[in-house]
Amino acid sequence: MPEARDYYRATAPAAAYPPLAGAQDAAVCIIGGGFAGLSTALALAERGVRDIVLLEGESIGYGASGRNGGFVFGGFSLGERAIIDTVGEESGKKLYRMTLEAVELIRKRVRQYGIDCDMQEEGVYLANWFDDQRILERQQRYMREQLDVHWERLSRAQFAEKVSSERYFGALFEPAAFHFHPLKYAQGLARVLAQKGVRIHEASKVTAIDAAGTAWRVGTGAGHVTAAQVVVCCGGYIDTLYPALSRAVLPIATYVMVTEALGPRLDSALHTRAAIYDTRFAFDYYRPLADTRLLWGGRISIRQRSGEEVARLLCKDMLKVYPQLAGTRVEHAWSGLMSYGRHKMPQLGRLPDGIWYGLGFGGHGVAPTTLAGEVLGAAIAGEGADLARFGSWGLPPTFGPAGLLAAQVTYWYYELLDWMRQ
């Protein structure tokens, strides 16, 4: 039976930050201790902004930021073609380049601040699930010609030197990408912020955000913060905190498992330490860990599942690709909530009442959350040009339970298309 704690929490002992108690004043109050909130705080601190309070309802990295697959690469959940179709070639290219800059900023911060997060700079493979070479050819050409991004294409035989699986028909390789332990990275950012004087409070679930004259009053069960600026970065765990934002978010679950340490058996499947995902809509994503375990993720759903259910589903998926791993024990399995907007782009901006927000990073969030922190931090500090780039998508309503049902049916539909193409 998989351990109740997810692998990341089991391997990342954290510092504890006290709950908010009593009244505090701040220049900026950030709600949410995931990558978006932490990155916004660091962007502000690096720009010389002082007097920042960060409130987290659970613990640092509790949500999707501390439970994801650990892939660090360019792009958004919305595909590159759809972005360019919406905002045009020049603006679309700029947005994509911003995610690549965010990848490099994460790499820089890991080194600059000495964050121990098991970073493996081995790149990422996009493996072709379908026996159709045009899929990789088109994607490689589009990335090169439209975005000036150069990925290496591997034939089926060449990729077979990297993985021992009959499932794949070649791959594209993104060399500048990497993978890491996301919770250790989040905790590392928090330590840096604390050293810079940011007041971090865990177990401080925000229950109300109210106007207080020209400022805001952010209340928790045991205290409140009065702040000139408030930034909401709550993602899939926003609940009903702020209706103008809550109704624009779909909380969608995804699943991850980690095997036992495989030792030499890992080499029977993988001859690379790169991370891998595939060309299906309902794709698998997985990566080898430093201790010879295999982390495997996939599927999305409108409900979370128990560790036992997740392990059963994902083990079945893993054995479709690597039947030689039959009998492997799953030691950790978990689910967690991501936040999606209807348009699948990050939701960054400022409400008419003055509240700043950064959410909606579901499915492709590590680099975009870092980008969001830079964009929001710059805007709060008076440099809002990049924030305007996200104005084309906005906060369309997701229609609550009806939207969740529609999302599930859409996933099943595309899963069926994957099966038919196969």
Residue range 379-409, pLDDT digits in tens: 999 988 899 999 999 999 887 888 778 778 8
Per mean pLDDT, which range of 126-140, 202-216, 258-272, 397-411 is the poorest? 397-411
Chain CA centroid to CA 202, Å? 20
- 254-276 pLDDT, tens digit per residue, is 899 999 999 999 999 999 999 99
- 29-52 pLDDT, tens digit per residue, is 999 999 999 999 999 999 999 999
* 7-68+183-250+342-399 CATH pick, 3.30.230.10, 3.50.50.60, 3.40.470.10, 2.60.15.10: 3.50.50.60
pTM value? 0.95
273-288 core/surface letters (b: 16 or more CB in 10 A; e: else): ebbbbbbbebbbbbbb
Radius of gyration of the chain (CA): 21
Task: Identify any residues that bridge with 28 across adjacent strands, giving them in sequence order.
Answer: 52, 229
What pLDDT is stored for residue 13 in this prediction? 85
How many Cα atoms occupy the beta-carbon half-sphere of 112 within 13 Å? 9
Contact 375, 387 (CB under 8 A): yes
Contact 29, 225 (CB under 8 A): yes
Of 176, 50, 29, 187, the residue nearest 105 (C-alpha): 176
Section 67-89 average pLDDT: 96
